[in-house]
Amino acid sequence: MSNVKFKVQPGGTIKGRIRVPGDKSISHRSIMLGAIAKGTTTVTGFLEGDDSLATLKAFQEMGVEIEGPEQGNVTIKGVGLKGLKKPNNPLDMGNSGTAMRLMAGILAGQDFDCELIGDASLSKRPMKRVTDPLRLMGAQIETSEDGMPPLKITGTGEQASLKGIDYVLPMASAQVKSCVLLAGLYAEGTTSALEPAPTRDHTERMLNGFGYPVTSEKLGDQQMKASLKGGGELTARHIDVPSDISSAAFFIAAATVSKGSELVVEHVGMNPTRVGIIEILKLMGADIKLENFHEVGGEPVADVHVKYAPLKGIHIPEALVALAIDEFPVLFVVAATAEGQTVLTGAEELRVKESDRIQVMADALQAVGVDATPTEGGMVINGGKQTPQTTGIQSHHDHRISMAMTIAGLNAASEIIIDDCANVNTSFPTFIELINQVGMQVDVI
């Protein structure tokens, strides 16, 4: 992948009505569940980014007939839970931690051997968090010495299937929960995942939508437990993928921090486990209204109407951290414009994303003159006092860093050059086109 740089001109006012691409989490899951369902599943609004395309190609390599994507439309001829075939080569998940961790759950229950590989960034991400519970269920999985990819999965062969377990997650992680539940489809008895705090529940909602019952219950203050019984079957359906709130977040943030701005982002997924960004921005004083609420395929959606508002720094409530985990790079940029101090704690998970998002964002913000101090589990940002500096920013191959620092250009004193932006294609291929359309000036060089 050649080095792509973004050159961001300072300033701009954000105006207009836009629709951002489909939700990445739901796009991945639509392919996975459609492939192992019985019958033909159709998808509209599918995200044609590198990450979800890696998932699509992996299932094609396991013998599933998939047509598209064409303008977000995909048709999947499902083969049932046990219909996947052994792929001829390792399955390449590219940059996608979601794809690798969820696929591990599905592949642990197959009767063939296979290997999951990824790019340089994914090859440094921890996989022990999914291999531990899968091994407890009886799966045979090897990783590299330090628990990183590649994952070599030995098929169950003619032996008994996996065994259901009650797994207590050491940390709140939708990917780990989903991996355990997907393996549970192939397990004897009941499999449950108990989380210390709620995380995105797209897997549970979609399994229920495919006619596979999943029960979700709240235990105590924060804990959530999801359970299912193995050995059922999924029935094909139509999936309309809402726009991705993680992609919309960059535009919502942009309109919030740029004077005179007003923007509507249409058809955004409003899953209660994903709206942390909206809650956090409102606590800071943002002017955000949700309009035209309705439901598509079991997922709530709304239009997000944002106007510029002066913001105040806050201590971000830890209960909202898991609900906004992917949005923190751009929330840090917002905090830099707020009056006073913003403090994030309890977000250690950010250190093992596509990059160490705490350190990388602290470095990037300091480079453009923001008073930002990284901590073990978050950051302290003293907002509103940017010292003018012109500089190059390192994105460390992380799409969300590249996009967040593009938004930083709205309040920068001079142009920002961001290095290594090719990975924006993993989640948001039309980002530059849309950001220029609403009022920024960003060139790809």
Each of the 445 residues of the chain gets a pLDDT tens digit; together they read 578 999 999 999 999 999 999 999 999 999 999 999 999 999 999 999 999 999 999 999 999 999 999 999 999 999 999 999 999 999 999 999 999 999 999 999 999 999 999 999 899 999 999 999 999 999 999 999 899 999 999 998 766 689 999 999 999 899 999 999 999 999 999 999 999 988 999 999 999 999 999 999 999 888 999 999 999 999 999 999 999 999 999 999 999 999 999 999 999 999 999 999 999 999 999 999 999 999 887 899 999 999 999 999 999 999 999 899 999 999 999 999 999 999 999 999 999 888 999 999 999 999 999 999 999 999 999 998 776 666 789 999 899 999 999 999 999 988 999 999 999 988 899 999 999 999 999 999 9
Q: Are residues 233 and 268 in the same domain?
A: no
**Do 8 and 412 touch, CB atoms closer than 8 A?**
yes
State both tokens at 214.
Answer: 């999943």
pLDDT for the residue 361: 96
Residue 229 in domain: yes
Q: Are residues 223 and 301 in the same domain?
A: no
Give the whole-angstrom CA distance, residue 95 versus residue 354: 8
Give the whole-angstrom CA distance, residue 331 versus residue 335: 6
State both tokens at 137.
Answer: 């269920």
pLDDT for the residue 360: 97
Residue 249 domain boundaries: 6-22+243-444
Q: Are residues 80 and 49 in the same domain?
A: yes
**Do 426 and 246 touch, CB atoms closer than 8 A?**
no
Q: Are residues 263 and 216 in the same domain?
A: no
Domain boundary among 195, 220, 240: 240
State both tokens at 237.
Answer: 């359906």
Domain boundary among 191, 207, 240: 240
H or E element: which one contains 162? strand 162-163
pLDDT for the residue 38: 98
State both tokens at 18.
Answer: 């836009």
For the residues of 200-220, what is the DSSP string, one character each?
Answer: --HHHHHHHHTT---EEEEET
Residue 165 in domain: yes
* Residues tagged active-site: 326
Domain of 407, CATH number, reads: 3.65.10.10
For the residues of 244-308, what is the DSSP string, one character each?
Answer: PHHHHHHHHHHHHHSTT-EEEEEEEE--TTTTHHHHHHHHTT-EEEEEEEEEETTEEEEEEEEE-
Domain boundary among 186, 209, 240: 240
pLDDT for the residue 159: 63
State both tokens at 352.
Answer: 């093992």
The total number of residues shown for the chain amounts to: 445
pLDDT for the residue 86: 97
pTM of the complete model beyond 0.85: yes
Q: Are residues 335 and 404 in the same domain?
A: yes
pLDDT for the residue 160: 64
Strands 238-240 and 215-219: unpaired
Q: Are residues 217 and 358 in the same domain?
A: no
Which DSSP category does 329 fall into?
H
Q: Are residues 381 and 268 in the same domain?
A: yes
Q: Is 429 helix (H, G, I), strand (E, B) or coil?
A: coil
Count of structural domains within the chain? 2
Which DSSP category does 171 fall into?
S
Q: Are residues 360 and 390 in the same domain?
A: yes
Residue 179 in domain: yes
Is the peptide bond between 21 and the residue preceding it cis, with omega within 30 degrees of 0?
no
The full 3-state SS of 234-252, as one line of letters, equals CECCEEECCECHHHHHHHH
Beta bridge partners of 51: none
pLDDT for the residue 156: 84
pLDDT for the residue 352: 86
pLDDT for the residue 345: 97
